[in-house]
Structure 1
Amino acid sequence: MERSNNYFSAIEGVIRGFIITVVLLLIFAVVMTFIEVSSQISYIVYLITTILSIMYASIYAVRKIGERGWLIGIIVTLLYLFILYVVSVISGNSAVIGVAGVKRLVLALIVGALSGMIGINLK
């Protein structure tokens, strides 16, 4: 029973992370309607949005589960990125993962693990 509760907490953290993502991207979309934004700025905003969402999702899940912070953070990060990748492919973006994608993956995994460690110590 406890394992299923852990899975539910991890999934709940990912869902909350996506809510943060949607809210931040909606705010950015409103800003983009009034201001011309370069592709470099857009990339940075998307990266920061992803990092903040992963941080929140990992910390939330780890605080609910209460153990193995770094591992739960990595699992939440992988689940978040997998869902993001599937949504991206469904929406018509290329399925090719290049060097930049691998760098983002490594950065996200590091952020997820560190956020998990922070979350376990916030109790």
Structure 2
Amino acid sequence: MEKNNNYLPAVEGVLRGFIITVILLLIFAVVMTFVEVSSRASYIFYLITTILSIMYASIYAVRKIGKKGWLIGILVTLLYLSILYIVSIISGNSMVMGADGFARVLLAIIVGALSGIIGINL
């Protein structure tokens, strides 16, 4: 496999991560039309969706770039979360960055770094 020094695959990984996010959220929306879902279950689903999307995006980007796995994983995560934050502000659902928000960002960064390490070793 050819290793690329261009960081464009990181952006492509983020876009692929958002495609995963949209698909999972559409499935969840269909489920929510038929079943009443508690706010706790929704929170857990959104967290799992974010983690899976970041994992996929990081692994994809690192496999394409072929070096600096943990760093690329963190950069992909920060780009993903930044876009998610901007979209939430534009849609009027501004995310409050309290202790819970900080914990979610920290968890996402850790998942991104570990996914980058996994991606470089696959």
Aligned to 2:51: 51
C-alpha displacement of 1:95: 4.9
Give ranges in structure 1 of 5+ residues lacking alignment.
Answer: none
> TM-score scaled by structure 1?
0.94
Aligned to 2:103: 103
Aligned to 1:121: 121
Amino acid at match of 1:69: G
The reply to whether residue 17 of structure 1 matches residue 17 of structure 2 is: yes
Identity of aligned residues (%): 76
Partners in 1 of 2:73 and 2:94 — Cα distance?
A: 27
Aligned to 2:31: 31
C-alpha displacement of 1:97: 1.0
Partners in 1 of 2:55 and 2:61 — Cα distance?
A: 10
Q: Once superposed, which parts of structure 1, at least 4 consecutive aligned residues long, lie more than 4 Å away?
A: none
More helix by share: 1
**Deviation per residue, 1:4-41 (Å, 9 max, x gap):** x22x1100000000000000000000000000000000
Amino acid at match of 2:45: V
Aligned to 1:94: 94
> TM-score scaled by structure 2?
0.95
**Backbone CA RMSD of aligned residues:** 1.0
Amino acid at match of 1:78: L
Give ranges in structure 2 of 5+ residues lacking alignment.
Answer: none
C-alpha displacement of 1:43: 0.1
C-alpha displacement of 1:96: 3.2
